[in-house]
Structure 1
Amino acid sequence: MPEQPPVTIPETITVHLGTPASDAQNITVPFAEYIKNVASSEIYPTWPEEAIRANIYAQVSYALNRVFTEWYRSQGYDFDITNSTRYDQSFVPGRDIFENISTIVDGVFNDYLTRGDAVEPLFAQYCSGTTVTCPGGLSQWGTVPLAEQGMRAEEIVRYFYGDDINFINDAPVSPNLGGSWPGTVFRLGDVGEDVRTIQRRLNRISVNYPGIPKIYPTNGVFDANTERAVRTFQQQFNLTADGLVGKATWYRIANVYNNVKRLSELNSEGLRLEDISRQYPSELREGMTGVSVQLLQYFLAVAGAYYDQLPTFEAAEIDGIFGPKTREAVQAYQRMLGLPVTGAVNRETWNALVSTYQSVLRARPLEQTLPGAIGLPAQNGAFLVEGMRGEAVRELQLAINVAARAYANIPAVTADGIFGPKTRDAVAALQQMFGLPETGAVGPLTWEALGALVRDILASSQTAEGQYPGYPVGEEANT
């Protein structure tokens, strides 16, 4: 099992006081208090402690499955779970909590169940075992004689759910953000982990709906293949087929993904760690290294050259090492924008910094903002990816062809302004040479490396500064 579980315990949970479609009140309560209420409503405080603990394990895991899979939010509801026993667990607002149950919950509310090598919380179905039975699930009354026979709570849980059940203990607690949609519309040219989530989910959905084209590679780059898959998905499920992933499409993808994976069933197909592992860190902080840190430093350098409140960076300091200066620059930026001054970069800080970077480049050419920067005309802060067209793509192709004249491993391309597979492959070859992730998409670090390469080649060949001559490639097509 992973040392740090990929699932966190929400600080709060929002409960709908009725059946899902009913016009009932929502209330938000601390997660531990919710479990105490459920346990006090579902079972008896006079039961043996090990029977109570076994039931609480099931109740915690059940609720976490609803939150983790966004079972209701992916259907358009604004709550995490209902209190209707037809659908979920019993929750009675304002009810008295039994003291012994409260004490037990305090010790296990951040423990949950998984099955085998799956990472999602088990949809731990259970029933009374008297008036209602549920094959494969836990019998609430059935836990009592087992506890009286001396079985521990863990043994009771495995007795009902199987020997392949794991107990994840002391999972971290984090805020419940009220849904996974990050609040932005994803489109052609976007890059990031949320795009990769879209790609992975669409690929799995396409197994059940083969009309949806596969996306390869799932690299977090919203390219033409991703846009094509999104449009097909939208057509399949009666959404506006615009190729954009806004809130409605995001949650519809989540809903269909949950269903094809059966994530809210006892016999779930299961999520493996590789299904949800992040290509990009969910948070950048001091001590980390890599391309993501280097890109962070690059954005900070551009912003620091424009805003007096921020420190400036020398080119040698954009080294991919998150040290004290990077932390201090992040803190200064957070202070300037009124964000929590943590010195670590979460999604909120990252999105704000990218927006600042793009705003600076719209206001001033990069070569006037950051000394030594590439100054390529197409470098305006936007990512270029397969499927795009226009002058920016053509300028990229001209720069590639300059590089191709000096490096045999970089293929020349037709400078037609169409970002097709051959341009993508040429970009990937450049990235391999520069030691960057081979995404085939052009972002700030690729622009920077390509610009430096072009400058050196032009200087060595005494080509006029600022000119990017094309490379004759005959009739070779790029699309």
Structure 2
Amino acid sequence: MPELPIIPEYITVHLGRPDDASARNITIPFVEYIKNVASSEIYPTWPESAIRANVYAQITYALNRIYTEYYRSRGYDFDITNSTQYDQYFVEGRDIFQNISEIVDDIFNDYVVRQGQVQPYFTQYCNGTTVTCDGLSQWGTVDLARDGMTPYEILQHYYGDDIDIVFNAPIAANIPSYPGIPLRRGMIEEPIRTIQRQLNRIGQNYPSIPRISELDGIFDLETEEAVKQFQRIFNLTPDGIVGKATWYKIKGIYNGVTGLNELYSEGLALEDVDRIFQTVLKEGDTGPQIRLLQYFLAVIGYFDSDIPIVAVDGIFGPETRDVIMTFQNKYGIPVDGIVGRRTWDTIRNTYQNTINALPPEFQPVRNQIYPGYFLALGEQSSYVTTMQQYLRAIAENDPAIPTVEVTGTYDQATENAVRRLQEQNGLPANGVIGPLTWELIVNRFRALS
């Protein structure tokens, strides 16, 4: 499913130039912001087609700022300014014209896109009298409307015939794109695919950034090296970890090289924003992501009597829902039995804290317990050594599994053996050891005893 734009419930406006630290920020409903901008920039006496064309442009301009996180990727804590040098005219507390208010209520969740692109188009505009630009002329729309043009035809006149209007876009809370936790080697999730795609595109302009061959959401050694080089180029600590500063720096540079905040943008196609990982897990879902969730919960429940131990069967049924609700209640999360970002991050962090604080009697088998991060090509650790030992023993009893050397380095031979074992057992054959593959290898090894 692609990551498509939403209409945010609220927008945060900086009442001044971007660099004016003394200016206040105010957060208001998005629809009220558009009504204010439209009432501040155009006249209620204009023909309705002209008003609608301008409102479409104003909505889309604001959405472009929000969707691309234009200011947040630059370290600011707001979505847009009220400085006409940079953005749209907004006057705090002003009166709203009744007919403009009604038009905005009718179309506030519609926006302009370039055909074949996803992001809200950068609908640059100016008044067309004291200021001119390559985009829409506000006063020029009046003459076009009087000539009988529809709002869509007016927009085409200024932005080209290859534009579309997205109607009735969903409305939701505007959640920052940063996933909330640093991304590092051994993790696997959708935001990693995002930075992999963005780094590869940035690498076209900065060729010293090594290309990432697989855009699979696995934070492997290849991804880490690309992150480190990006950090070196842009004067960030080259630790290979994507924290908030690196995340938004990547996003800001990506926006720049693709021109997402420009009239002539290379744009985002559907394949640039598709997803392979679900954003929300709920009752009725099935598959590897559910098994991963259940695995974490089962380990947490083994060491915490407050959390029931759930079966790891890949089916999000009533039992899993009830365990989730118990977990949410204990950790102060709204109890809905649904696994969104906050619940998932808390489960993952709780798992990591659990295995980091194993009771003394479990320390001798520490390396047999999944470490909380994925093992992939290039990894060097005692956990890799343990897995190679187990894989070697499994291969001795199963000729279908290639033999590996015990080196402590996750090499190509180890990846091949893991991939073959995954194929045998119906797991995604990515050659990476996550919790489900870890459990499989450990159980196969124990069955040999």
TM over 0.5: yes
Residue type at the aligned position of 2:392: N
SS in 2 for 1:322: coil
Larger mean Cα displacement after TM superposition, 21-30 or 91-100: 21-30
Residue type at the aligned position of 2:40: S
Residue type at the aligned position of 1:138: L
Alignment of 1:425 onto 2:423 = no
Q: Deviations over 1:353-390 (max 9, x none)?
A: 1122233334448x98xxxxx99625333332223212
CA contact (8 A) 2:3 2:275 kept: no
Give the Cα–Cα distance (whole angstroms) in 2 for the partners of residues 388 and 126 of structure 1. Answer: 51
Alignment of 1:206 onto 2:203 = yes
CA contact (8 A) 1:378 1:392 kept: no
Alignment of 1:397 onto 2:388 = yes
CA contact (8 A) 1:19 1:83 kept: yes
Larger mean Cα displacement after TM superposition, 407-416 or 41-50: 407-416
Alignment of 1:340 onto 2:339 = no
Q: Deviations over 1:288-331 (max 9, x none)?
A: 222111211222222333334433324xxx22222222222222
Structure 1 stretches of 5 or more lacking a match? 369-373, 459-464, 466-479
- 1:365-380 aligned at under 5 Å gives the runs 377=368, 379-380=370-371
1:154 aligns with 152
Q: Deviations over 1:248-271 (max 9, x none)?
A: 211111111001111011221111
Larger mean Cα displacement after TM superposition, 68-77 or 321-330: 321-330
> Match for 1:322 among 316, 324, 330?
316
> Match for 1:20 among 15, 18, 27?
18
Give the superposition deviation at 1:43: 0.5
CA contact (8 A) 1:378 1:393 kept: no
CA contact (8 A) 2:387 2:441 kept: no
Give the superposition deviation at 1:438: 2.8
CA contact (8 A) 1:334 1:341 kept: yes
Residue type at the aligned position of 2:53: A
Q: Deviations over 1:416-454 (max 9, x none)?
A: 111233323322232222222233321110111122222
2:181 aligns with 184
SS in 2 for 1:47: coil
> Match for 1:449 among 417, 440, 447?
440
Residue type at the aligned position of 1:242: D
Q: Deviations over 1:110-157 (max 9, x none)?
A: 11111111111111111112222222x212112222222333222222
SS in 2 for 1:14: strand
SS in 2 for 1:141: helix
SS in 2 for 1:412: coil
1:80 aligns with 79
Residue type at the aligned position of 1:420: D
Residue type at the aligned position of 1:154: Y
1:63 aligns with 62
SS in 1 for 2:139: coil
Residue type at the aligned position of 1:320: G
1:462 aligns with none
Fraction of identical pairs, as percent:
54
SS in 2 for 1:437: coil
Give the superposition deviation at 1:209: 0.9
SS in 2 for 1:285: coil
1:141 aligns with 139
Give the superposition deviation at 1:201: 0.8
CA contact (8 A) 1:284 1:344 kept: yes
Give the superposition deviation at 1:44: 0.4
Larger mean Cα displacement after TM superposition, 16-25 or 58-67: 16-25
Give the Cα–Cα distance (whole angstroms) in 2 for the partners of residues 403 and 89 of structure 1. Answer: 65
> Match for 2:4 among 3, 6, 12?
6
1:290 aligns with 287
1:280 aligns with 277
Give the Cα–Cα distance (whole angstroms) in 2 for the partners of residues 54 and 48 of structure 1. Answer: 10
How many residues matched? 446
Give the Cα–Cα distance (whole angstroms) in 2 for the partners of residues 275 and 420 of structure 1. Answer: 30
Q: Deviations over 1:222-253 (max 9, x none)?
A: 11111111111111112221212112211111
SS in 2 for 1:55: helix
CA contact (8 A) 1:5 1:168 kept: no
Residue type at the aligned position of 1:338: G
CA contact (8 A) 1:37 1:92 kept: yes
Give the superposition deviation at 1:47: 1.0
> Match for 2:243 among 235, 241, 246?
246
SS in 2 for 1:361: helix
SS in 1 for 2:132: coil
Residue type at the aligned position of 1:382: Y
2:107 aligns with 108
- 1:468-479 aligned at under 5 Å gives the runs none
SS in 1 for 2:4: coil
2:172 aligns with 174
Larger mean Cα displacement after TM superposition, 52-61 or 273-282: 273-282
Give the superposition deviation at 1:21: 1.4
2:348 aligns with 354
CA contact (8 A) 1:119 1:270 kept: yes
Give the Cα–Cα distance (whole angstroms) in 2 for the partners of residues 350 and 138 of structure 1. Answer: 44
Give the Cα–Cα distance (whole angstroms) in 2 for the partners of residues 252 and 412 of structure 1. Answer: 43
Residue type at the aligned position of 2:148: G
SS in 2 for 1:305: helix
CA contact (8 A) 1:43 1:52 kept: yes
Residue type at the aligned position of 2:412: P
1:118 aligns with 117
Give the superposition deviation at 1:25: 1.9
Give the Cα–Cα distance (whole angstroms) in 2 for the partners of residues 67 and 275 of structure 1. Answer: 18
Give the superposition deviation at 1:351: 0.8
Give the Cα–Cα distance (whole angstroms) in 2 for the partners of residues 297 and 166 of structure 1. Answer: 43
CA contact (8 A) 1:74 1:255 kept: yes
Residue type at the aligned position of 1:98: F
Give the Cα–Cα distance (whole angstroms) in 2 for the partners of residues 25 and 358 of structure 1. Answer: 40
1:371 aligns with none
Larger mean Cα displacement after TM superposition, 375-384 or 155-164: 375-384
Larger mean Cα displacement after TM superposition, 78-87 or 185-194: 185-194
Give the Cα–Cα distance (whole angstroms) in 1 for the partners of residues 184 and 371 of structure 2. Answer: 17
2:37 aligns with 38
Larger mean Cα displacement after TM superposition, 353-362 or 235-244: 353-362
- Normalised to the residue count of structure 2, the TM-score between the two structures is 0.93
Residue type at the aligned position of 2:169: A
